[in-house]
Amino acid sequence: MEGFISLFQQYNVPAAFLVNLELTFWSALFSAILGIVLVLMRISPIASMRHVAGGYVEFFKNMPLTIIMVFMVLGAFAQLKLSFSDNFETNFFWLAVVGLSLYTAAFVCESLRSGINTVPLGQAEAARAMGLNFMQSATLIIMPQALRGSVAPLGNTLIALLKNSTVAAAASVATETSSLMSEMIEFRPDVIIQIFLIFAFGYVILIIPIGLLTTFLSNKLAVRR
Amino acid sequence: MAANESALLFDQPGPRMLRRIKIINWVAAIVFVAIAVLIIMRLHNPPDGENQLSWELWKPALDGEAWADFYLPGLWATLRATCLAVIGAVVFGLLFGVGRLIPNAVVRGVCGVVIEFCRAVPVLIMMIFFWRWFAFMDLPSPAYWAVVISLVLYNGSVVAELVRSGVGNLPNGQHEAAVALGLTRTQSLLSVEVPQAIYAMMPAAVTQLVVVLKDTALGSIIMYTDLLQESRRLGSMYFNILQTLVVAGVVYFILCWLLSRLAEWLPVRMQQRTMAPAEPEPVAPIAILDPSNVNQIAVAREERPLGGSQRLYHVHHRGTNASIHNWRRTRYTQGYDETQPQSQIARDGHQHHHKGRNGRTRPDPDMQ
Amino acid sequence: MTQRTTMRTLLRKGLAALCALACAAGVAACGSGADDGDGDVIKVGIKFDQPGLGFKKSGTYEGFDVDVARYIANQLGYTDSQIVFKEAPSKQREAMLQNGDVDMILASYSITDERKKAVDFAGPYFVAGQDLMVRANDDSIKGPQDLNGKRLCSVTGSTSAKVVKEKFAKEVQLMEQPGYAECATALLSGIVDAVTTDDIILAGLASASRGKLKVVGKPFTEEYYGVGIKKDAGSKDFATKINAAIEEMEKTGEWERAIENATEGTGYKPNPKYNPPKPDEGE
């Protein structure tokens, strides 16, 4: 027990978790926007957009996040000169956000697409038969049902994103949890198990509520068919 | 597939719309190509630094020596860790997944806690911990075992959930028939329900295989000499690390892509062997803490009697095995059917059979 | 009847043999097959990923550490084919020596009091110093004090960057990468202005850069590279033998040739104040 207290006094664990939460927040926001754009491209009747969005999703679904993160620093930053700030710490933070967003957007797109797929074709046909135009049928009939269907996969994606934010270590973000854990183990190897438990339970505490909330929402919002 | 999604929102285009679509199609294509060309130009002639497309940098990343000394040994290490992790994850998942279903509450509780814990902890955190811990315990090749064990724990917990949702998605008739034949609950679980759940979870498990393969790349952070680490090493010899990483990325992509295709091909084969729906969803199928995961896409595709009217029959393949055990409590669960209200009645042990029969308010639709 | 029994025995024997074979294959596949011979091989831990010091290439190993290790092993009576090289990552060096995974370690292993608690050392065979590597056309950085407002790259978990920041340049920006090659790539592309670590490692990197990078050449610390050996009753004896071999190597000029080999084309000279060092550790 004293081990835990001295660890908390010596290292700022909550600050590291805050970095991960910030990474998750911004990546969730940007990947949601990009994911919506992608899914719109993917279901549009325009072939070139459909193929590009399909290729994007296929690429990021089959590429390790670690490689993407390394490329954000050595490719996007070093070669393409994608830079957000002269301050390295801020710059790497935002590069990691971009990497996580690009990666997660593919999964957001797939979640939304699976949500759209839960709407039976009959719903669209009925809407058209009643004389609703494109906007009306999309906003009144299809999308409300599709969003309800994608709550569960989107929740999964959010949980995966929070866990993946630790991989930001590969994009030189040195203040997040996995880097702090390495550092703590380096200097306090005697209490290695306590250190692990601190971080593991930190994530359990963060993730279980998200899981409960998505399950609750997806049950509550589910369209009974 | 795409046609179905498009048909939902977009009506069959007329001649004018077709023309417009064609124009937008070309404009979009030109924009995409322009972006790609701009990036390549930038790589070819960066503001400072070297031309990243020069053959001088690509040749050592592609020649035979690079493959023989770096990529192939790295790939072997990656595949070795992947295979062992997959085998371990399946064993772990079956043990704990079944453990979470058996009647004994203590075993169920322990398995549940272990599974939820392993699913919530990031793989990288586990890897770093096991790596350092194994090193302190003086075990041989700590990085390798850290990669394998972390992946076993995380993916095993996912497999355990797949087992559970596979059992939950079975029609309850399977369980009832087994009990009627005189099997105990555990026997029914082990010899009737779980085997079918395994077939049903196969496609999703192959999708999970892609996750394992991708996650082995995290091993490079803890110095495991996998494909990614070896390509970095090769890159440090000729300073062409970007090029070697591209090659490694392509290899990862091809392997994962092939596995994804396998996951799409499997459902057809597996559906013949199970009563649960074997179709994979485009994303990992399980909502966290959600025992019965009804595949809503399969539900949406289903043919409806009389073209979409209220269903008359009990929807036997939608998670009744889960809802009858009261895994989910709300009325709005999938599988609830107002013509069959007994499917939601809680049961303790075998009581529900009586309750169900006595509590039935409506005549059985089949009898009408 | 008897025939059937013999058949069965034969079958059983065959099965047993198969099992044994499978087990052996399993063991061979899991561990490294080279472990088997005791006594007649020497197991040496080196780095596999540092050009110039220890690098695995085409199934062979090259670099200064490797050359010294070979020389010592030869002096101890092993032929080149009896040397088994193993990778010794920085964080596992003590553990590898303690479980007997390796007999000695030459992997830019600095002799420190902290480490001496866990393992014994022989040597030193080289005195390195922390230095800076910059782009060949960059003359603005002459030492660590010029780094204020500049960007510096080092490897994750190494203390060298912190030394610079605390002692020489408070306003330096730090970037951490998993390996020196990443740092060198970043340096080439211009997103950082300098890379810091021990000068011999930098010289090895610079030598691989086709003349685009250079070492500043003003080391500001001293790192005594030693040969790590297991702490036990015989370690003193072993260290004396190793030290004699190193002394021999320095005397015959092999030592200098190995350094020139490793840092070809960079004009790198080891700090003459300390090099070649007198190996007297652990005796």
Residues of C in contact with B136 (CB under 8 A): 95
Q: What is residue C232's predicted lDDT score, i.e. its pLDDT? A: 82
Q: What is residue B22's predicted lDDT score, i.e. its pLDDT? A: 93
A156–chain B Cβ distance below 8 A for any pair: yes
Instruction: Give the pair of three-digit tokens for residue B203.
Output: 């496609």
| Cα–Cα distance measured from residue B316 to residue B365, given in angstroms and rounded to the nearest whole number | 14
Same fold, C36-128+224-262 and C130-215: yes
- The CA distance from C11 to the nearest CA of chain B, in Å, is 30
Of A66, A71, A220, the CB nearest to B217: A66
Count of pairs with CB atoms under 8 A, one residue in A, one in C: 33
User: pLDDT at residue C35 above 80?
Assistant: no
User: pLDDT at residue B286 above 70?
Assistant: no
Instruction: Give the pair of three-digit tokens for residue B274.
Output: 């199970």
Q: Most C CBs within 10 Å: which of B42, B226, B236, as the mutation test of the C interface?
A: B236
Mean pLDDT, range A203-213, rounded to an integer = 90
Q: What is residue B4's predicted lDDT score, i.e. its pLDDT? A: 63
Residue of B nearest to A200 (CA): B121
Neighbours of B15 (CB within 10 A): 7
Pairing verdict, β C151-155 and C173-177: parallel
User: pLDDT at residue A201 above 90?
Assistant: yes
C89–B232 C-beta distance less than 8 A: no
pLDDT digits (tens, 9 = 90+) for C140-158: 888 888 888 888 888 876 7
Instruction: Give the pair of three-digit tokens for residue C107.
Output: 């992997």
Residues of A in contact with B334 (CB under 8 A): 222, 224
How much of chain A, in percent, has pLDDT values that exceed 90? 46
Contact C57, C34 (CB under 8 A): no
Q: Cα-Cα-Cα-Cα dihedral of A200, A204, A206, A211, to 10°?
A: 150
User: pLDDT at residue C36 above 60?
Assistant: no
A14: Cβ contacts below 8 Å, ≥ 6 apart: none
Of B135, B138, B236, the CB nearest to C91: B135
Q: What is residue B3's predicted lDDT score, i.e. its pLDDT? A: 53
Q: Which CATH number, 1.10.1060.10, 3.40.190.10, 3.40.50.720, 2.160.10.10, labels domain C130-215?
A: 3.40.190.10
- The CA distance from A119 to the nearest CA of chain B, in Å, is 6
User: pLDDT at residue A174 above 90?
Assistant: no
C98–B235 C-beta distance less than 8 A: no
Of A78, A79, A88, the CB nearest to C173: A88
Strand order across the C49-50 sheet = C49-50, C54-57, C60-62
Q: Which residues of C194-232 are buried (b: 16+ CB within 10 A; e: fewer)?
A: bbbbbbbbbbbbbbbbeebbbbbbebbeebbbbbbbbbe
Q: What is residue A151's predicted lDDT score, i.e. its pLDDT? A: 85
Q: What is residue B342's predicted lDDT score, i.e. its pLDDT? A: 53
Residues of C in contact with B236 (CB under 8 A): 49-51, 179-181, 184, 205, 208
Give the single-character DSSP code of C216. -
Q: What is residue B337's predicted lDDT score, i.e. its pLDDT? A: 52
Q: What is residue C30's predicted lDDT score, i.e. its pLDDT? A: 40
Pairing verdict, β C42-46 and C104-105: parallel
Neighbours of B56 (CB within 10 A): 11
C95–B135 C-beta distance less than 8 A: yes
Candidate ranges B39-48, B336-345, C12-21; pick with highest mean pLDDT: B39-48
**Extents of the domains making up chain B:** 59-271
**Extents of the domains making up chain A:** 2-221
pLDDT digits (tens, 9 = 90+) for C53-98: 888 876 788 888 999 999 999 988 888 888 988 888 777 788 788 8
- The CA distance from B332 to the nearest CA of chain A, in Å, is 6
Of B120, B133, B302, the CB nearest to A207: B120
| Cα–Cα distance measured from residue A137 to residue A146, given in angstroms and rounded to the nearest whole number | 12
B25–A46 C-beta distance less than 8 A: yes
A214–B221 C-beta distance less than 8 A: no
A172–C176 C-beta distance less than 8 A: yes
Mean pLDDT, range B58-68, rounded to an integer = 86
A138–B125 C-beta distance less than 8 A: no
Q: Give Dmax (Cα) for chain B.
A: 82
Where does the pLDDT of residue B1 fall: very low under 50, low under 70, confident under 90, or very high at 90 and above? very low
Neighbours of A150 (CB within 10 A): 25
| Cα–Cα distance measured from residue C55 to residue C48, given in angstroms and rounded to the nearest whole number | 4
Contact A192, B142 (CB under 8 A): no
Query: What's chain B's average pLDDT?
Result: 78
Least confident of B18-27, B339-348, C68-77: B339-348
Residues of C in contact with B228 (CB under 8 A): none
B225–C210 C-beta distance less than 8 A: no
**Extents of the domains making up chain C:** 36-128+224-262, 130-215
Mean pLDDT, range C188-207, rounded to an integer = 87
- The CA distance from C72 to the nearest CA of chain B, in Å, is 26
User: pLDDT at residue B367 above 50?
Assistant: no
Contact C107, C47 (CB under 8 A): yes
pLDDT digits (tens, 9 = 90+) for B74-130: 999 999 999 999 999 999 999 999 998 888 899 999 999 999 899 999 999 999 999
Amino acid at B305: P
B181–chain A Cβ distance below 8 A for any pair: no
Give the single-character DSSP code of C39. S
Residue of A nearest to C179 (CA): A170
Bridge partners for C176 per DSSP: C154
- The CA distance from B97 to the nearest CA of chain A, in Å, is 18
Residues of B in contact with C85 (CB under 8 A): none
Least confident of A165-169, B174-178, B282-286, C143-147: B282-286
A92–C156 C-beta distance less than 8 A: no
Contact C219, C199 (CB under 8 A): yes
C57–B49 C-beta distance less than 8 A: no
- The CA distance from C251 to the nearest CA of chain A, in Å, is 40
User: pLDDT at residue C225 above 80?
Assistant: yes
The domain defined by C36-128+224-262 carries CATH number 3.40.190.10: yes
Of B69, B132, B238, the CB nearest to C208: B238
Residues of C in contact with A174 (CB under 8 A): 156, 176
Distances (CA, A) of C69 to C83, C103, C257, C279: 9, 11, 14, 14
Where does the pLDDT of residue B305 fall: very low under 50, low under 70, confident under 90, or very high at 90 and above? low
Of B65, B221, B237, the CB nearest to C51: B237
C101: Cβ contacts below 8 Å, ≥ 6 apart: B140, C43, C45, C86, C95
A204–B210 C-beta distance less than 8 A: no
Pairing verdict, β C223-229 and C49-50: unpaired
Query: What's chain C's average pLDDT?
Result: 79
Q: What is residue A158's predicted lDDT score, i.e. its pLDDT? A: 93
How much of chain C, in percent, has pLDDT values that exceed 90? 3
SS3 C139: coil
Residue of C nearest to B238 (CA): C208
C49–B48 C-beta distance less than 8 A: no
* Nearest Cα to Cα of residue A166 among A144, A199, A139, A197: A199
User: pLDDT at residue B325 above 70?
Assistant: no
For Cα atoms B322, B325, B326, give the angle at the middle one, nearest 5 degrees. 90
- The CA distance from B327 to the nearest CA of chain C, in Å, is 43
Q: What is residue C112's predicted lDDT score, i.e. its pLDDT? A: 83
* Nearest Cα to Cα of residue B156 among B213, B102, B87: B87
- The CA distance from A89 to the nearest CA of chain B, in Å, is 20
* Nearest Cα to Cα of residue A125 among B338, B17, B312, B304: B304
Contact B283, B207 (CB under 8 A): no
C125: Cβ contacts below 8 Å, ≥ 6 apart: C68, C106, C225, C226, C227, C246, C249, C255, C277, C279
Bridge partners for C224 per DSSP: C127
A163–chain B Cβ distance below 8 A for any pair: yes
Residue whose structure tokens are 């295709």: B261
Chain C residues near any Cβ of chain B (below 8 Å): 31, 48-51, 55-59, 87, 89, 91-92, 95, 98-99, 101, 178-182, 184-185, 188-190, 205, 208-210, 212
Mean pLDDT, range A169-186, rounded to an integer = 88
Residues of B in contact with C56 (CB under 8 A): 69, 233
Q: What is residue C12's predicted lDDT score, i.e. its pLDDT? A: 55
| C-alpha C19, offset from chain centre | 40
| Cα–Cα distance measured from residue C70 to residue C75, given in angstroms and rounded to the nearest whole number | 9
CA quadruple B15, B21, B22, B23: dihedral sign: positive
Of B8, B39, B49, the CB nearest to A116: B8
B208: Cβ contacts below 8 Å, ≥ 6 apart: B89, B155, B158, B159, B162, B284
Mean pLDDT, range A20-34, rounded to an integer = 96
- Note the ipTM here: 0.93
CATH number listed for the domain at residues A2-221: 1.10.3720.10
| Cα–Cα distance measured from residue A65 to residue B214, given in angstroms and rounded to the nearest whole number | 8
Contacts of C among chains (3+ CB pairs under 8 A): A, B
Distances (CA, A) of B87 to B79, B80, B94, C38: 12, 11, 11, 33
Mean pLDDT, range C216-239, rounded to an integer = 86
Q: Which CATH number, 3.20.20.70, 1.10.1740.10, 1.20.120.430, 1.10.3720.10, labels domain B59-271?
A: 1.10.3720.10
Residue of A nearest to C152 (CA): A88
Q: Cα-Cα-Cα-Cα dihedral of A135, A141, A146, A149, to 10°?
A: 170
| Cα–Cα distance measured from residue A191 to residue A194, given in angstroms and rounded to the nearest whole number | 5
B50–C182 C-beta distance less than 8 A: no
Q: If 0-12 CB within 10 Å is exposed, 13-18 middle and 19+ buried, where does residue B185 land?
A: middle
| Cα–Cα distance measured from residue B315 to residue B317, given in angstroms and rounded to the nearest whole number | 6
Q: Which residues of B234-251 are buried (b: 16+ CB within 10 A; e: fewer)?
A: bbbbbbbbbbbbbbbbeb
B287–chain A Cβ distance below 8 A for any pair: yes
Contact A164, A24 (CB under 8 A): no
CB-based contacts of B76-79 (< 8 A; 24+ apart in sequence) = B77/B144, B77/B224, B77/B225, B77/B226, B77/B227, B77/B230, B78/B213, B78/B216, B78/B217, B78/B219, B78/B226, B78/B227, B78/B228
